[in-house]
Amino acid sequence: MSILSKCESYTRAREARENGLYPYFLNFDSHGAGTARLTGGRDVVMCGSNDYLGLSTDPRVTEAAATAARRYGAGCTGSRFLNGNLDLHDHLEQELAKFFGKPAALVLTTGYQANLGAISGLCGPGDTVLLDKEAHASLIDAARLSRADVQWFAHNDTIDLTSKLDRLSQPSRTLVVGDGVYSMEGDLCSLPELARVCRAYDATLLVDDAHGAGVLAEGRGTCAHYGLTDEVPLITLTFSKAFGSIGGAVLGDEQVIDYLRHHARSLMFSAGASPSNTASVLEALSIVRSETWRCDAVVANADHMRQELMALGYDVGASCTPIVPIKIRDELSTLLAWKLLLAQGVYVNAALPPAATPRLRTSYTAMQTDDHLRRALAGFAAVREQLSGTPARVT
Ligand code: PMP
């Protein structure tokens, strides 16, 4: 058995393709936060985008990207550490620190790399990384890379967290890690309780706010939503969602950020965020600041859809954010529901184990009009009927 034998025996994706039930790597010609066009010309209502504020296609953002590419080039062709640092990166760091209310920020090339850099840069043998059971894959990978002892506590369960900390000989050498908004369930982390436990044990808390930043608390994210930004020493961000671009950041105290500048390998050994990405995030940030109606609109659209989906009889789990899962009993029914929705002109994401228990991951944006939401709900109602044989009512 060679390393490559597993590829030969991997048939799951091929079988799904053959059965017309393969939901991944679909091609889009255009990718809006309200509607999108699939290659081949079909328009769909987009209920599966992370472009929560509709900024990825905002002309001010795309123009900032184009201008930066013309001025600085298409890439920075090296690590920021050596030869790829731009005034744009430094400027973005200052603006992020100001906006999110932290002393300093470090910009990395993706959110994934921000998590890798922060966790593996700060933790090592002899330390413990204690992750929420639902923490994002990048946080798990980061913890494993760090060579610290990796443990889990039950989702949002501070009693379990406390008992795990109690068993450690040096609980203060622990990094407690969770998402701000959980990316598959759409629920919030129990930040007040987590912060209280971390304080009691002198453990350090890291919150990955990929899905809260730009959305909650007029864009300032989950920690600001709870009024607890000062209580969270490390916050990580991504720019691939509400900020409509690509990139990531770590926010924290000056000394910590300076340490990471010299110890985060995903920063030091990978090229810096491109000029166009960095400039587009700067522009997106200034729009988030000045156009707070976008945050209100995304929350209102999601609230409306959550209520209506529940009224149709769907199980939307514990969602209270723009991410609204629709729990389906098994993998096959999930793929079937995904396909039926697409046939109704509604695009959602199918999530399967090991990423999550089977579900459709739906998400909502500020760009969806009443008409988009009505069309989507008509599709959800029709599919509910097809799946259960019970007629559903749409208001
Ligand atoms: N953290 C969370 C919670 C995420 O959902 C994601 C992206 N799915 C990331 C980190 C990684 O972000 P990026 O796309 O910038 O690598």
- CA pair distance 326, 349, nearest whole angstrom: 10
Overall average pLDDT of the 94-101 stretch: 98
- pLDDT by residue (tens digit) across 98-146? 999 999 999 999 999 999 999 999 999 999 999 999 999 999 999 999 9
Q: How far is CA 139 from CA 27, 31, 86, 90, in A?
A: 28, 28, 27, 25
- CA pair distance 192, 197, nearest whole angstrom: 9
Instruction: Determine the residue of 136, 177, 236 to mutate for testing ligand 1's pocket, defined as the one with the most ligand atoms within 8 A of the Cβ atom.
Output: 136
Find the 112 Cα to ligand 1 centroid distance in Å.
Answer: 6
**Which regions of the chain does DSSP assign to beta strands (E)?**
28-31, 35-38, 43-46, 104-108, 128-132, 149-153, 174-179, 204-208, 234-238, 248-252, 323-327, 346-347, 349-351, 359-363
Q: Is the dihedral of CA 212, 118, 72, 102 positive or negative?
A: positive
- CA pair distance 317, 330, nearest whole angstrom: 15
pLDDT of residue 390: 52
- CA pair distance 212, 298, nearest whole angstrom: 12
Q: Which residues line ligand 1 (CB under 6 A)?
A: 110-112, 115, 136, 138, 179, 183, 208, 210-211, 238, 240, 248
- CB 282, CB 95: distance < 8 Å: yes
Cα dihedral 79, 84, 89, 91, rounded to 10, equals 140
Find the 236 Cα to ligand 1 centroid distance in Å.
Answer: 10
Task: State the CATH architecture for 59-290.
Answer: 3-Layer(aba) Sandwich (3.40)
Q: Is 14-46+292-388 a CATH 3.90.1150.10 domain?
A: yes
User: Is residue 214 very low, low, confident or very high in pLDDT (cuts 50, 70, 90)?
Assistant: very high
pLDDT of residue 248: 98
- CA pair distance 142, 117, nearest whole angstrom: 8
Q: How far is CA 321 from CA 111, 251, 291, 296, 359, in A?
A: 20, 23, 19, 12, 16
pLDDT of residue 395: 41
Residue 138 CA: which ligand 1 atom is closest? 10
Q: Is the pLDDT of residue 201 over 50?
A: yes
Q: Is the pLDDT of residue 225 over 60?
A: yes
Nearest CA to ligand 1 atom 1: 210
Find the 238 Cα to ligand 1 centroid distance in Å.
Answer: 6
- CA pair distance 97, 94, nearest whole angstrom: 5
- pLDDT by residue (tens digit) across 274-313? 999 999 999 999 999 999 999 999 999 999 999 999 999 9
Nearest CA to ligand 1 atom 4: 210
- CB 161, CB 153: distance < 8 Å: yes
- pLDDT by residue (tens digit) across 243-253? 999 999 999 99
Q: Is the pLDDT of residue 192 over 80?
A: yes
- pLDDT by residue (tens digit) across 369-386? 999 999 999 999 999 999
Find the 169 Cα to ligand 1 centroid distance in Å.
Answer: 32
pLDDT of residue 394: 45
Give pTM, 2 decimals.
0.96
Written as six digits, the tokens of 176 are 């407690």
Cβ count near 320 (within 10 Å): 17
* Residue ranges per structural domain of the chain: 14-46+292-388, 59-290
pLDDT of residue 389: 65
- CB 115, CB 264: distance < 8 Å: no
Nearest CA to ligand 1 atom 13: 111
Residue 112 CA: which ligand 1 atom is closest? 16
Instruction: Determine the residue of 52, 189, 240 to mutate for testing ligand 1's pocket, defined as the one with the most ligand atoms within 8 A of the Cβ atom.
Output: 240
* CA-closest candidate to residue 210, choices 144, 325, 112: 112
Q: Is the dihedral of CA 31, 34, 38, 42 positive or negative?
A: negative
pLDDT of residue 39: 87
Overall average pLDDT of the 255-276 stretch: 98
Find the 135 Cα to ligand 1 centroid distance in Å.
Answer: 11
Find the 361 Cα to ligand 1 centroid distance in Å.
Answer: 15
- CA pair distance 112, 317, nearest whole angstrom: 26
User: Is residue 171 very low, low, confident or very high in pLDDT (cuts 50, 70, 90)?
Assistant: very high
pLDDT of residue 30: 87
Q: Is the pLDDT of residue 184 over 90?
A: yes
Q: Is the pLDDT of residue 392 over 80?
A: no
- pLDDT by residue (tens digit) across 329-384? 899 999 999 999 999 999 999 999 988 999 999 999 999 999 999 999 999 999 99
Nearest CA to ligand 1 atom 6: 210
Question: Across the beta sheet with 323-327, what order do the strands follow?
Answer: 323-327, 359-363, 349-351
Nearest CA to ligand 1 atom 5: 183
